[in-house]
Amino acid sequence: MRPAPLLHGIAMAASIRLAENLETGRVATTAWDDSGSRIIALSCSDTVQLGNQTVTFHAKKDASGYFTIGDDTFPIEEDDSTGVLCSRMYNNEHARAECILSVPLIEELSTIAPDSVLECFADSKDPDRFRWQPIDVDSHEPMNGDNGDENDTMGQRRHLGRRQGCQTGIAQIQWPGVARNPRKWRRHQQLTPSLDCMSAATCTTSVISSRTITHSASVGAAKFISAGYSVGISQTSGFSLSCTANRNQRVCVKHWSRYQQYDVRRKAVLCGRTLTDERYNIRAPLKDQQRHSTHYCATGTNNCLSDGWLHWEDMGAGVHGGA
Protein backbone atom coordinates (compact mmCIF):
# COMPACT_ATOMS: atom_id res chain seq x y z
CA MET A 1 0.00 0.00 0.00
CA ARG A 2 1.56 3.33 -1.02
CA PRO A 3 0.48 6.82 0.04
CA ALA A 4 -1.27 8.55 -2.82
CA PRO A 5 -0.92 12.23 -3.75
CA LEU A 6 -3.80 14.56 -2.99
CA LEU A 7 -6.52 14.83 -5.57
CA HIS A 8 -5.89 17.46 -8.24
CA GLY A 9 -8.17 20.02 -9.85
CA ILE A 10 -10.60 22.42 -8.17
CA ALA A 11 -10.83 21.25 -4.58
CA MET A 12 -12.44 22.03 -1.24
CA ALA A 13 -11.30 21.23 2.28
CA ALA A 14 -13.26 18.58 4.13
CA SER A 15 -13.09 16.59 7.33
CA ILE A 16 -13.81 12.87 6.96
CA ARG A 17 -14.71 11.17 10.25
CA LEU A 18 -15.24 7.59 11.36
CA ALA A 19 -16.92 6.66 14.65
CA GLU A 20 -17.39 3.09 15.91
CA ASN A 21 -19.11 1.65 18.96
CA LEU A 22 -16.80 -1.24 19.85
CA GLU A 23 -19.46 -2.83 22.09
CA THR A 24 -22.14 -3.11 19.38
CA GLY A 25 -20.09 -2.84 16.19
CA ARG A 26 -22.19 0.10 14.96
CA VAL A 27 -20.33 2.52 12.68
CA ALA A 28 -20.90 5.99 11.26
CA THR A 29 -18.88 7.78 8.58
CA THR A 30 -19.41 11.47 7.97
CA ALA A 31 -17.95 14.24 5.83
CA TRP A 32 -17.95 17.80 7.18
CA ASP A 33 -17.31 21.09 5.40
CA ASP A 34 -14.23 23.20 6.15
CA SER A 35 -16.01 25.04 8.98
CA GLY A 36 -16.46 21.76 10.85
CA SER A 37 -20.06 22.68 11.65
CA ARG A 38 -22.02 21.16 8.75
CA ILE A 39 -22.35 17.52 7.72
CA ILE A 40 -22.32 17.16 3.93
CA ALA A 41 -22.42 13.34 3.77
CA LEU A 42 -23.45 10.62 6.24
CA SER A 43 -23.59 6.83 6.26
CA CYS A 44 -24.14 4.27 9.03
CA SER A 45 -21.29 2.16 7.64
CA ASP A 46 -17.57 2.50 6.95
CA THR A 47 -18.29 3.87 3.45
CA VAL A 48 -19.78 7.24 2.52
CA GLN A 49 -20.51 8.84 -0.85
CA LEU A 50 -19.00 12.32 -1.24
CA GLY A 51 -20.21 13.78 -4.52
CA ASN A 52 -19.06 11.30 -7.17
CA GLN A 53 -16.31 9.92 -4.91
CA THR A 54 -16.58 6.93 -2.57
CA VAL A 55 -14.75 7.18 0.77
CA THR A 56 -14.11 3.91 2.64
CA PHE A 57 -12.35 3.40 5.98
CA HIS A 58 -10.37 0.23 6.72
CA ALA A 59 -9.76 0.73 10.44
CA LYS A 60 -8.83 -1.46 13.40
CA LYS A 61 -10.34 -1.20 16.88
CA ASP A 62 -7.94 1.62 17.75
CA ALA A 63 -9.02 3.48 14.58
CA SER A 64 -5.62 2.94 12.96
CA GLY A 65 -5.35 1.70 9.38
CA TYR A 66 -6.12 3.49 6.14
CA PHE A 67 -8.94 4.92 4.04
CA THR A 68 -9.55 5.21 0.33
CA ILE A 69 -11.08 7.84 -1.93
CA GLY A 70 -11.77 6.15 -5.22
CA ASP A 71 -8.47 4.50 -6.20
CA ASP A 72 -6.34 6.67 -3.88
CA THR A 73 -5.17 5.33 -0.51
CA PHE A 74 -4.25 7.34 2.60
CA PRO A 75 -2.98 6.16 6.01
CA ILE A 76 -4.95 7.24 9.09
CA GLU A 77 -2.10 9.35 10.45
CA GLU A 78 -0.39 12.68 9.93
CA ASP A 79 1.46 12.25 6.66
CA ASP A 80 3.58 15.13 5.35
CA SER A 81 4.11 13.36 2.04
CA THR A 82 0.40 13.55 1.18
CA GLY A 83 -0.71 16.60 3.14
CA VAL A 84 -3.39 14.52 4.88
CA LEU A 85 -3.77 15.25 8.61
CA CYS A 86 -5.43 12.43 10.57
CA SER A 87 -5.93 12.01 14.30
CA ARG A 88 -7.47 9.26 16.42
CA MET A 89 -9.28 8.91 19.75
CA TYR A 90 -10.10 5.51 21.23
CA ASN A 91 -10.60 3.38 24.33
CA ASN A 92 -12.23 0.01 25.05
CA GLU A 93 -15.71 1.33 24.21
CA HIS A 94 -15.43 3.47 21.13
CA ALA A 95 -12.99 4.59 18.44
CA ARG A 96 -12.84 7.68 16.26
CA ALA A 97 -10.70 8.87 13.38
CA GLU A 98 -10.71 12.27 11.73
CA CYS A 99 -8.83 13.14 8.53
CA ILE A 100 -8.60 16.62 7.02
CA LEU A 101 -7.82 16.76 3.31
CA SER A 102 -8.76 18.31 -0.02
CA VAL A 103 -11.52 16.69 -2.06
CA PRO A 104 -13.03 17.60 -5.45
CA LEU A 105 -15.34 20.59 -5.27
CA ILE A 106 -18.99 19.65 -4.78
CA GLU A 107 -21.26 22.23 -6.41
CA GLU A 108 -24.42 21.53 -4.44
CA LEU A 109 -23.93 20.59 -0.80
CA SER A 110 -26.80 19.10 1.14
CA THR A 111 -27.13 20.08 4.79
CA ILE A 112 -27.54 17.27 7.31
CA ALA A 113 -28.34 17.99 10.96
CA PRO A 114 -25.31 17.22 13.20
CA ASP A 115 -27.49 15.08 15.50
CA SER A 116 -28.34 12.79 12.58
CA VAL A 117 -25.16 10.81 13.28
CA LEU A 118 -26.72 9.65 16.57
CA GLU A 119 -29.28 7.62 14.61
CA CYS A 120 -26.44 5.26 13.67
CA PHE A 121 -26.00 4.48 17.38
CA ALA A 122 -29.65 4.36 18.45
CA ASP A 123 -29.17 0.97 20.17
CA SER A 124 -26.19 2.19 22.23
CA LYS A 125 -26.52 2.60 25.99
CA ASP A 126 -25.38 6.22 25.67
CA PRO A 127 -25.71 7.50 22.08
CA ASP A 128 -24.65 10.98 23.17
CA ARG A 129 -21.08 9.70 23.55
CA PHE A 130 -20.95 9.55 19.76
CA ARG A 131 -21.89 13.18 19.31
CA TRP A 132 -18.87 14.81 17.69
CA GLN A 133 -17.75 18.40 17.43
CA PRO A 134 -14.32 19.48 16.16
CA ILE A 135 -11.63 20.09 18.79
CA ASP A 136 -10.89 23.77 19.18
CA VAL A 137 -7.30 24.32 20.29
CA ASP A 138 -8.26 27.78 21.57
CA SER A 139 -10.19 27.08 24.77
CA HIS A 140 -13.48 28.95 24.99
CA GLU A 141 -13.79 29.87 28.63
CA PRO A 142 -17.26 30.89 29.85
CA MET A 143 -17.94 34.56 30.46
CA ASN A 144 -18.19 34.88 34.21
CA GLY A 145 -19.51 37.40 36.66
CA ASP A 146 -17.75 38.07 39.93
CA ASN A 147 -15.60 35.04 40.77
CA GLY A 148 -14.95 36.08 44.35
CA ASP A 149 -16.11 33.92 47.24
CA GLU A 150 -19.78 34.68 47.53
CA ASN A 151 -19.92 33.81 51.25
CA ASP A 152 -17.38 36.55 52.01
CA THR A 153 -19.33 39.01 49.87
CA MET A 154 -22.59 38.19 51.62
CA GLY A 155 -20.93 38.58 55.02
CA GLN A 156 -19.78 42.06 54.10
CA ARG A 157 -23.27 42.98 52.87
CA ARG A 158 -24.96 41.69 56.03
CA HIS A 159 -22.50 43.68 58.17
CA LEU A 160 -23.24 46.83 56.17
CA GLY A 161 -26.97 46.13 56.41
CA ARG A 162 -26.85 45.83 60.22
CA ARG A 163 -24.98 49.13 60.44
CA GLN A 164 -27.70 50.81 58.39
CA GLY A 165 -30.54 49.15 60.30
CA CYS A 166 -31.97 47.14 57.43
CA GLN A 167 -31.74 43.66 55.95
CA THR A 168 -29.95 42.50 52.84
CA GLY A 169 -30.52 39.45 50.70
CA ILE A 170 -29.54 37.86 47.43
CA ALA A 171 -31.69 36.13 44.84
CA GLN A 172 -29.81 34.24 42.18
CA ILE A 173 -29.44 31.30 39.80
CA GLN A 174 -32.22 30.21 37.50
CA TRP A 175 -32.28 26.41 37.28
CA PRO A 176 -33.12 24.08 34.36
CA GLY A 177 -36.59 24.77 33.04
CA VAL A 178 -36.31 28.49 33.62
CA ALA A 179 -32.63 29.03 32.78
CA ARG A 180 -31.91 30.78 29.51
CA ASN A 181 -29.91 29.29 26.65
CA PRO A 182 -28.72 25.98 28.17
CA ARG A 183 -25.69 24.53 26.37
CA LYS A 184 -23.77 21.24 26.56
CA TRP A 185 -19.99 20.97 26.79
CA ARG A 186 -17.23 18.42 27.16
CA ARG A 187 -14.14 19.37 29.14
CA HIS A 188 -11.02 17.56 27.91
CA GLN A 189 -7.84 17.20 29.97
CA GLN A 190 -4.55 15.66 28.86
CA LEU A 191 -3.21 13.31 31.56
CA THR A 192 0.25 12.40 30.22
CA PRO A 193 3.04 14.23 28.41
CA SER A 194 2.86 14.02 24.63
CA LEU A 195 5.03 11.19 23.31
CA ASP A 196 6.52 11.73 19.85
CA CYS A 197 7.35 8.40 18.27
CA MET A 198 10.40 9.30 16.20
CA SER A 199 12.59 6.24 15.64
CA ALA A 200 10.79 3.14 16.92
CA ALA A 201 8.19 1.39 14.77
CA THR A 202 5.62 1.90 17.55
CA CYS A 203 5.53 3.80 20.85
CA THR A 204 3.30 3.35 23.89
CA THR A 205 2.32 5.65 26.73
CA SER A 206 0.07 4.63 29.62
CA VAL A 207 -1.61 5.65 32.84
CA ILE A 208 -1.73 2.86 35.41
CA SER A 209 -1.74 4.31 38.94
CA SER A 210 -4.59 6.24 40.53
CA ARG A 211 -4.91 9.88 39.62
CA THR A 212 -7.29 12.48 41.00
CA ILE A 213 -9.08 14.67 38.48
CA THR A 214 -10.81 17.71 39.92
CA HIS A 215 -13.81 19.24 38.18
CA SER A 216 -15.17 22.60 39.26
CA ALA A 217 -17.79 25.07 38.17
CA SER A 218 -16.67 28.12 36.27
CA VAL A 219 -17.96 30.51 38.96
CA GLY A 220 -16.77 30.31 42.60
CA ALA A 221 -19.10 29.25 45.45
CA ALA A 222 -22.20 29.92 43.41
CA LYS A 223 -24.65 27.62 45.26
CA PHE A 224 -24.77 25.36 42.24
CA ILE A 225 -25.14 22.00 44.03
CA SER A 226 -28.60 21.25 42.71
CA ALA A 227 -30.45 19.65 39.83
CA GLY A 228 -27.74 17.07 39.17
CA TYR A 229 -24.81 19.47 39.01
CA SER A 230 -21.92 20.13 41.34
CA VAL A 231 -19.54 22.97 42.12
CA GLY A 232 -16.65 20.53 42.48
CA ILE A 233 -15.94 16.85 42.00
CA SER A 234 -12.72 15.01 42.82
CA GLN A 235 -12.65 11.73 40.95
CA THR A 236 -9.93 9.22 41.82
CA SER A 237 -9.28 7.06 38.83
CA GLY A 238 -7.67 3.64 39.23
CA PHE A 239 -7.90 2.72 35.59
CA SER A 240 -5.20 1.27 33.38
CA LEU A 241 -5.00 2.45 29.79
CA SER A 242 -2.18 2.04 27.28
CA CYS A 243 -2.06 4.04 24.06
CA THR A 244 0.06 3.27 21.01
CA ALA A 245 1.25 5.36 18.07
CA ASN A 246 3.17 4.50 14.92
CA ARG A 247 6.47 6.05 13.83
CA ASN A 248 6.39 9.84 13.33
CA GLN A 249 3.12 10.11 15.26
CA ARG A 250 2.27 11.75 18.60
CA VAL A 251 0.24 10.01 21.32
CA CYS A 252 -1.14 10.82 24.79
CA VAL A 253 -3.81 9.77 27.33
CA LYS A 254 -6.76 12.11 27.90
CA HIS A 255 -10.02 12.37 29.84
CA TRP A 256 -13.30 14.12 29.07
CA SER A 257 -16.30 14.95 31.26
CA ARG A 258 -19.70 16.47 30.59
CA TYR A 259 -20.53 19.98 31.73
CA GLN A 260 -23.79 21.93 31.60
CA GLN A 261 -23.90 25.66 30.93
CA TYR A 262 -26.68 28.19 31.51
CA ASP A 263 -27.16 31.90 31.25
CA VAL A 264 -28.01 32.91 34.82
CA ARG A 265 -28.85 36.04 36.76
CA ARG A 266 -27.44 37.14 40.10
CA LYS A 267 -29.09 40.00 41.94
CA ALA A 268 -27.91 41.55 45.24
CA VAL A 269 -30.20 43.86 47.25
CA LEU A 270 -29.24 46.11 50.18
CA CYS A 271 -31.95 47.93 52.12
CA GLY A 272 -34.36 47.69 49.23
CA ARG A 273 -31.82 49.02 46.76
CA THR A 274 -30.37 46.83 44.02
CA LEU A 275 -26.58 46.89 44.22
CA THR A 276 -25.82 44.44 41.44
CA ASP A 277 -27.90 42.77 38.76
CA GLU A 278 -25.51 40.59 36.78
CA ARG A 279 -26.19 38.26 33.91
CA TYR A 280 -23.50 35.76 33.01
CA ASN A 281 -23.09 32.10 32.16
CA ILE A 282 -21.80 29.23 34.22
CA ARG A 283 -20.59 25.71 33.45
CA ALA A 284 -20.69 22.92 35.99
CA PRO A 285 -19.86 19.20 35.83
CA LEU A 286 -22.59 16.57 36.06
CA LYS A 287 -22.50 14.77 39.41
CA ASP A 288 -22.32 11.14 38.29
CA GLN A 289 -18.93 11.26 36.60
CA GLN A 290 -18.86 7.46 36.29
CA ARG A 291 -21.59 7.87 33.68
CA HIS A 292 -20.62 11.25 32.30
CA SER A 293 -16.88 10.98 31.71
CA THR A 294 -14.33 8.67 30.12
CA HIS A 295 -10.60 8.19 29.56
CA TYR A 296 -9.28 7.74 26.03
CA CYS A 297 -6.18 7.54 23.87
CA ALA A 298 -5.46 10.37 21.45
CA THR A 299 -3.04 10.76 18.55
CA GLY A 300 -2.05 13.74 16.43
CA THR A 301 -0.53 17.13 17.11
CA ASN A 302 -3.97 18.74 17.35
CA ASN A 303 -5.05 16.24 20.04
CA CYS A 304 -1.89 16.10 22.19
CA LEU A 305 -0.15 19.29 23.32
CA SER A 306 1.21 18.97 26.87
CA ASP A 307 0.47 17.30 30.22
CA GLY A 308 -2.47 19.04 31.90
CA TRP A 309 -3.74 20.78 28.74
CA LEU A 310 -7.43 21.71 29.07
CA HIS A 311 -9.84 22.52 26.28
CA TRP A 312 -13.60 22.64 25.77
CA GLU A 313 -15.74 20.94 23.14
CA ASP A 314 -19.04 22.64 22.35
CA MET A 315 -21.73 19.94 22.06
CA GLY A 316 -24.53 22.29 21.05
CA ALA A 317 -27.65 23.75 22.63
CA GLY A 318 -29.78 21.87 25.16
CA VAL A 319 -29.47 19.94 28.41
CA HIS A 320 -27.46 16.72 28.80
CA GLY A 321 -29.73 13.68 29.06
CA GLY A 322 -29.64 11.67 32.27
CA ALA A 323 -28.28 14.52 34.39
Closest listed residue to residue 86, CA positions, set 70, 106, 62: 62
Give the pLDDT of residue 269: 59
Give the pLDDT of residue 259: 85
Structure pTM?
Answer: 0.68
The Cα–Cα gap between 98 and 122 comes to 22
The Cα–Cα gap between 264 and 280 comes to 6
Give the pLDDT of residue 214: 52
Give the pLDDT of residue 156: 41
* Cβ neighbour number for residue 274 with a 10 Å cutoff: 9
The Cα–Cα gap between 18 and 47 comes to 9
- Transcribe 136-173 into DSSP letters: -SS--PPP-S--S-HHHHHHHHHHHHHHTTS-EEEEE-
The residues with which 285 forms a beta bridge, in sequence order, are 259
Q: What is the per-residue pLDDT across 274-311, written as a single tens digit (0 to 9) for each?
A: 666 666 677 777 766 666 788 888 998 888 999 989 99
> Residues in the chain with pLDDT < 70?
1-11, 103-110, 132-181, 200-201, 207-240, 264-280, 287-291, 320-323
Report which DSSP code applies to 290: H
Q: How far is CA 202 from the centre of its chain?
A: 27
* Cβ neighbour number for residue 198 with a 10 Å cutoff: 10
Give the pLDDT of residue 21: 93
Give the pLDDT of residue 274: 60
Report which DSSP code applies to 3: P
Give the pLDDT of residue 224: 39
The residues with which 317 forms a beta bridge, in sequence order, are 183
